[in-house]
Amino acid sequence: MQTDRIDLAIVECLSRDARMPVSRVAEQVGLSQSACTRRIQTLEQAGLVVGYGARIDRKRLGFHVTALVDITLSTQVEEDLAAFERAVSAIDGIVGCALVSGHQDYRLTIICRDLDDYERLHREHLGRLPGVTTIASSFVLRDVPTRGEAAALFPR
């Protein structure tokens, strides 16, 4: 999809505030509301805008532990990677999975209620994932606020 400056301005508005009314987005990018709505729909259909979401305070919901888990597999054959990814996608608590470069093959982000919950997840699920040879866990001590994705994509 070819994007122009108006498309990028729309994406910037939505990435900074996904709840911004279309009328306000249209005003900020210099379009009518109906034209802006059509542009947003086109951006969604083209896969440039892939979804909308809320940032959740995990601790207020009782999830006090975030673990970053590095996984090494016995092989990097595509079928084995696919089997691992399918298995990971079925485990509650895993909120992120990235194939990475370096000494490990994957980095998982896992949220748990407490360390006992993490220990259960490790015992019942992580150790049973297909092809896993090593598991190295680190625990987030503090989440540091950053400027976010919108600031990186659309620096001012």
On whether both 19 and 41 belong to a single domain, the answer is: yes
Say how many domains are in the chain.
Answer: 2
Note whether residue 105 is domain-resident. yes
On whether both 75 and 39 belong to a single domain, the answer is: no
The pLDDT, as a whole number, for residue 53 is 86
The pLDDT, as a whole number, for residue 35 is 96
pLDDT tens-digit readout, 12-67: 999 989 999 999 999 999 999 999 999 999 999 999 999 998 889 999 999 999 99
On whether both 66 and 36 belong to a single domain, the answer is: no
Instruction: List CB contacts of 132: < 8 A, sequence separation 6 or more.
Output: 71, 72, 73, 74, 84, 126
On whether both 63 and 40 belong to a single domain, the answer is: no
Asked if 38 and 7 touch (Cβ cutoff 8 Å), the reply is no
Q: pTM of the predicted model, to two decimals? A: 0.84
The pLDDT, as a whole number, for residue 9 is 94
Note whether residue 149 is domain-resident. no
Task: Give the domain range for residue 14.
Answer: 5-45
